[in-house]
Structure 1
Amino acid sequence: MNATSVRISSLALVASAAVALFVTGCSDDSGSSPAAPVPSSAKAGPAAPAAKSIASVDGKAFDAKFTTTCAKQGGTLALALTDTENGSYGNLSVSATITDADTVQAVAIAGSKGGDNGLPYAVGFGNGMPGGSAKVVKDGNTYKVTGEGIGGPDLANPLAGPKSSKFDITFACATIVGA
């Protein structure tokens, strides 16, 4: 295994942990938000479809029950999806950090299991790091982050180097703490 693949794998795990620590205690389960009461004098119109937090890598959606956490501090928006009891990936975390200028600074997708050869699962992107790209599209409090990141190395074939993986993540924020 070369130093670059170790750095990239470490980046994914560190970014995921940093976002998780940043938003600890500020989580919001987007699937269980109560609806606001409608005054009896208001006419009910067609309801807009509720956005749902989802994530996929290389076109394969994660089968997960995500809790969505969204927090803003200064010019940085931290977004996180967590499923602490995922059958395939164990403790699964999907996170992104975005600046006010709508620049994706980092994306981390990590699972405590589910990677190649029994290793933890990891895909990451870091702005300014070689390999990968990411962009964000905002629609209200829903953020769609798409791009390409670097996955964890395959220790069975260390000379192959890190592989790239395409990601597509929707963070549906019921609220944004600090906004």
Structure 2
Amino acid sequence: MNTKSIRLTAAFAAAAAAALVVTGCSDDNSSSPATNSVTSATSAAPGTAAPTGGKSSASVDGKALDAKFDTTCAKQGGTLALALTDTGNATYGQLSVSATVTGDDTVQAVGIAGSKGGDNGMPYAVGYGNGVPGGSAEVVKNGNTYTVTGEGVGAPDMSNPMGGVKNSKFEIVFACASIVGS
């Protein structure tokens, strides 16, 4: 397995953890953000539709992740951290899905990680980092709901390390009841 693949996977996991740290250190006092519509970046979005009724969700390669997500949304300066967590997921163990958006429309990082559920008993991981080869992402804002779509790089199958990494399409809906710090 090449060192570059390991570094990319580690970078994506770090981005997911950073988004969760930002949201975990915030307070619960918030106000509503502006409601303008936002789109950015370049990506082929998966063909699944966003759920109705303000429910957070995530899908990878068109397959919905079966989870009972807690949604956390926080803004500090020009950075918006979005996180979905399910700490007792039957398939993925401790499942976290996160995205970091800067300005109004630039997705900096996306991380989808589970403590289990990957190939051959390994942890599950898909990630995207702005400027890192192998993916793309865009965000669309509708009120307090952010839909992040794109393509990220998955963790390699350690039973076949020469097989390299796999690209996976994702769609994540962050339905924020409120946004801390906005």
The TM-score range, normalised by the shorter chain, is 0.7 to 0.9
Larger Rg: 1
Asked whether the 8 Å contact 1:16–1:93 carries over to 2, the reply is yes
Cα deviations by residue, 1:98-130 (Å, 9 ceiling, x for unpaired): 012300000000000011111110000000001
In the alignment, structure 1 segments of 5+ residues that lack a partner are 29-48
SS of the residue 1:23 aligns to? helix
Moved more, 59-68 or 153-162: 153-162
Question: Is the aligned partner of 1:95 residue 2:83?
Answer: no
Question: Is the aligned partner of 1:70 residue 2:73?
Answer: yes
SS of the residue 2:24 aligns to? coil
| % same residue | 67
TM-score normalised by L of structure 1: 0.86
Aligned counterparts of 1:12 and 1:129: Cα–Cα separation in 2: 10
Q: Which residue of 2 aligns with 1:31?
A: none
Task: Give every structure 1 segment of 4 or more consecutive aligned residues whose post-TM-superposition deviation is greater than 3 Å.
Answer: 25-28
Q: Which residue of 1 aligns with 2:18?
A: 18
Question: Is the aligned partner of 1:51 residue 2:54?
Answer: yes
In the alignment, structure 2 segments of 5+ residues that lack a partner are 29-51
The Cα RMSD (Å) is: 1.3
Q: Which residue of 1 aligns with 2:88?
A: 85
Where in structure 2 are the equivalents of 1:140-179 lying within 5 Å? 140-179=143-182
Q: Which residue of 1 aligns with 2:47?
A: none
Deviation at 1:50, TM superposition (A): 2.4
Amino acid in the other structure paired with 1:95 = S
Higher relative contact order (CA 8 A, sep 6+): 2
Q: Which residue of 1 aligns with 2:129?
A: 126
Aligned counterparts of 1:116 and 1:11: Cα–Cα separation in 2: 19
Count of equivalent residues? 159
Change (3 A) 1:169 1:119: same
Moved more, 5-14 or 164-173: 5-14
Moved more, 129-138 or 14-23: 14-23
Deviation at 1:26, TM superposition (A): 4.3
Deviation at 1:25, TM superposition (A): 4.8
Q: Which residue of 2 aligns with 1:3?
A: 3
Aligned counterparts of 1:101 and 1:85: Cα–Cα separation in 2: 33
Q: Which residue of 1 aligns with 2:49?
A: none
Asked whether the 8 Å contact 1:26–1:70 carries over to 2, the reply is no
Aligned counterparts of 1:143 and 1:103: Cα–Cα separation in 2: 12
SS of the residue 1:17 aligns to? helix
Q: Which residue of 2 aligns with 1:40?
A: none
Asked whether the 8 Å contact 1:105–1:126 carries over to 2, the reply is yes
Amino acid in the other structure paired with 2:54 = A
Q: Residue 117 of structure 2 is aligned with which of 99, 107, 114? A: 114
Asked whether the 8 Å contact 1:76–1:99 carries over to 2, the reply is yes
Cα deviations by residue, 1:27-83 (Å, 9 ceiling, x for unpaired): 88xxxxxxxxxxxxxxxxxxxx62110000001101100000000000000000000
Cα deviations by residue, 1:132-164 (Å, 9 ceiling, x for unpaired): 000000000000000000000111111111100
